[in-house]
Chain A
Amino acid sequence: MTPAARNRLLVLATVLVVGGALLALVLTSFTDNLVYFQTPTEILASAQRFDGRKVRIGGMVRNGSLVRTAATTEMRFVVTDDRANITVYHRGLPPSLFREGQGVIVEGVWRAGAAEFIADTILAKHSEDYVPVEMSEQGIAKSRESLLKTLR
């Protein structure tokens, strides 16, 4: 083997080793960090399958369901897709777009059979082309529909 050929082999081997290590790093951390997005109906239908996994649940904050515990940052509310409901507990400040009747995504570890879903993150989703005040009534109804569709 000439020195040039040996050298080329050495470079190639290093590239392969480093590249392989990177690939392994990507693959191992990728599957661990996939977060499945579910509607309340879906997650209740396969409650056991997601037990102990990190999930995102998307739906509407049901009107009248938001309860804040006085003098703490604790809150409870119901996420609904009009068919199934999930009570969510969260401690901390929700994003400013969060409110009743709006779309929301809550993220946390799913415990099958638990009374409430403990969300460690709340993402409020504002309807894409946000609605002007005038056309609120029907507009909001419509955007809610499209929101539920995009949330799917």
Chain B
Amino acid sequence: MLNSVMPIEVIEWGHFAAVMALLLAAVQSLTAAWGGWYQQVVWVDVSRRAVWAVWLLLSVAMASLVVAFLQHDFSVRYVAEHSSRALPLFYLATALWGGHEGSLLLWAWLLALFAALAVWRHGSLRSPTLPLPSLAALLAILGAVVVGFLLLILFLSSPFQRLWPPPTDGRDLNPLLQDPGMVFHPPFLYLGYVGFAVPYALAMATLLTGRLYDDWVVTCRRWILFAWAMLTTGIVFGAYWAYYELGWGGYWAWDPVENASFMPWLTSTALLHSMMVQQRRHIFRTWNLFLIITTFALALLGTFLVRSGVLSSVHAFATDPGRGVYLLVFMAVVLLGSFGILTLRSDRLQATVRLPSMVCRESTFLFNNLFFVAAAATVLLGTLYPLAIETLSDSKVSVGAPYFNKVFVPIMLAVLLLMGLGPSIPWRHASLAQLRRYFLIPALVAIGVVPLIWWGLAIHNGYGVIAAAIVLFVVMSHGGDIMRAYWRSTDRQFMRLVLRNKRRYGGLLTHFGLLILVSGLVGSGLFKQERDLVMRPGDTTHIGAWQLTFEAIGQRSQHNWQADEGRFSAQRSGGGASVTLQPQKRIYQRSPQPTTEAAIYSSWREDLYLVLGDPAGDDGAWTIRIYLNPLVVWIWWGAGVMILGVGLSLLDQPRQRLVEN
């Protein structure tokens, strides 16, 4: 056999470790189930220790693959397919998640890590927050999910497969992935996806053991916040990467794979809000369980859509029906199992309190949830419908971006409006006097600016004006809320006020971040300019306030690519910025396909975005595409502020027990 002549490399140790991890994860799951069912602490204790062993073994497996990449061990098929000798060290170490086999291993490793962290945080055998049966159920469920992923990795999509004889050089990492944005996009996305596994398992543990229907939201609060922050970061990194690397001037295309990451974001955002209501008012119990199950299932669906290859886009690298079927069955088990149990237990979940009135904070959260879930359903329909049509009939359809924009924009505007009301409106019942005090001035100002923008600034764009008015309304109502709290406080120390209530002000800061982000979306979505043209060296053109001159075209090369590079000088009128832009058209040595490197000048006002096309004639003329995208950087900065807000919120110490009403 070939194996007899193959030297035993580090990778084999990793492979062996992964197999052992599979066995131990099965042990973890089964001992926990046994110990939980028969109330035997010793078995649960075995399971607790197995969790750590699984994580250590998977770490060995990950490390062996990294070593294989660093050593250019092309006898490992995955290494040969995703790196080359010329690949820079930075990308070599991160090529691990450049393809699906490695990314799935990263998924499993993160899951094992989070299981271990969950045991460390909540897993003491006499924990006040997590009684033995719940802990056992948590361990059993997380173990089962790890087993599910490791089966897939070892039998259908192994990164440990060997090639013999090894090729002399690898195929290199897809050039599009050789970008810092791509290095960070997948790990953050996966931290988000996998982060929902622990809250999911805790929620299921709640259902299985049939107790503490309100406690899981308290225990899970930080897990969910953390996962949500990671998912947000991952999505924004993906958008950022698309904007800088793909060279089509946009950051979001409603591509099925983008949608796949967006759906769990929408449902988890709904959950973040509605779990507050459950904690305070003990309602929305079944609903929150539904949301966490849905979120985790959508996270699995995201992995499934990207990694099974059923979708063809930049993200999907290969088609393998076996893998797709496995993931589909896996999802079916999770969905049917979870919702089955939820249905069986729903009689016990009856809330003791009813929605008290129509105008109160509870109802703003109810509608917030309605809109978020409707948005998720909208995206799901647009994403899965083409797949369904393709499976059921022979024709192939796609759902255009106009569908998503048309449905999504009004929903999001409604959500923004609710966002202005939610944090200030009182629980249980709001009186007319309170409403007038909190919202009259913001509403009047917001309505007042509409004609100002329409006629004053001559911006005749319905959605743009409405969005601006709503953003202003939210800023004013949030600002008013903070001002009132400040004047009410005895010490009049703003920082102390914030630190006294980190959860609340973290939340408000996240809202402000979202407003900045939305401003960026509105600006770049509605007011962008785009021009395709042919230019010769020496030619000058105008776009917006910019004057652009094509100076020269030349060549440039680096270790693994060479490029045509244009030099343009751009001058903003009225004594504004004066910059040089150098867009490239690159050919990587080991890839036949050229890539464009857009040249971008960013400022708070707008991005000037330049793409080099193809030669157009013999006289040095080139086709050029110019975009002028207003307010794009607001998107990145807004996302940053959102994450800061979550960070502030996370600093708050978890409350061990519920505040009884």
Task: Report A's interface with B, CB cutoff 8 A.
Answer: 4, 7-8, 10-11, 14-15, 18-19, 22, 25-26, 29-30, 32-37, 54, 56, 68, 70-73, 91-97, 125-126, 128-133, 136, 150, 152
Contact = CB atoms under 8 A, between A and B. Distances in A.
Given A15-B366, A125-B312, A29 B406 contact: yes
Contacts of B537: none
Contact of B403 (A32, A36, A96, A97): A32
A126 B371 CA distance: 37
What are the 6 A-B residue pairs with the smallest beta carbon separation, nearest first? A33-B403, A37-B396, A29-B406, A93-B613, A33-B400, A92-B532
Given A32-B403, A73-B616, A130-B174, A14 B358 contact: yes
B26 to A, nearest CB: 33
B293 to A, nearest CB: 21
Contact of A133 (B355, B382, B406, B592): B592
Contacts of A136: 592
Nearest to A22: B374
Contact of B316 (A8, A14, A128, A132): A128
24 contacts: A4-B354, A7-B356, A10-B358, A11-B358, A15-B366, A22-B371, A22-B407, A26-B377, A26-B378, A29-B402, A30-B381, A33-B406, A35-B399, A36-B395, A37-B397, A56-B398, A73-B616, A93-B532, A93-B611, A96-B585, A128-B318, A128-B319, A129-B317, A130-B591
B247 A96 contact: yes
A91 B585 contact: no
B19 interface: no
A34 B389 CA distance: 11
Interface in B357-407: 357-358, 363, 366-367, 370-371, 374, 377-378, 381-382, 385, 395-400, 402-403, 406-407
A35 to B, nearest CB: 5
Interface string B561-596: 000000000000000000000000100001111111
B625 interface: yes
Given A10-B358, A26-B378, A96-B595, 20 more contacts: A7-B355, A11-B358, A15-B370, A18-B367, A22-B407, A30-B382, A30-B399, A34-B400, A68-B616, A70-B617, A73-B532, A73-B534, A73-B623, A92-B532, A92-B625, A97-B594, A128-B317, A129-B317, A129-B318, A150-B312
Given A95-B248, A96-B593, A37 B395 contact: yes
B309 interface: yes
Contacts of A131: 592
B625 A126 contact: no
Contacts of A128: 309, 312, 316-319
A128 B623 CA distance: 27
B244 to A, nearest CB: 14
Nearest to B367: A18
B458 interface: no
Contact of B354 (A8, A32, A34, A91): A8
Contacts of B370: 15, 18-19
Contacts of A26: 377-378, 381, 407
B410 interface: yes
Contact of B407 (A29, A72, A91, A125): A29
Is chain A's interface secondary structure helix, strand, loop, or mixed overall?
A: mixed
Interface in B603-633: 611, 613-614, 616-617, 621, 623-625
Nearest to B396: A37
A99 B410 CA distance: 39
B67 interface: no
A136 to B, nearest CB: 7
A76 to B, nearest CB: 14
Contacts of B248: 95
Nearest to A30: B403
Contacts of B272: none
A54 B532 contact: no
A97 B593 contact: yes
Interface in B207-241: none
Nearest to B171: A132
A130 B316 CA distance: 12
A97 B611 CA distance: 14
B411 interface: yes
A124 to B, nearest CB: 9
A132 B402 contact: no
A29 B357 CA distance: 34
Given A7-B355, A29-B402, A71 B395 contact: no
Interface in B389-434: 395-400, 402-403, 406-407, 410-411
A132 B196 CA distance: 38
Nearest to A14: B358
A71 B534 contact: yes
Nearest to A68: B616
Contacts of A73: 532-534, 613, 616, 623
Nearest to B589: A133
Nearest to A124: B593
Nearest to B594: A96
B590 A8 contact: no
Contacts of B378: 22, 26
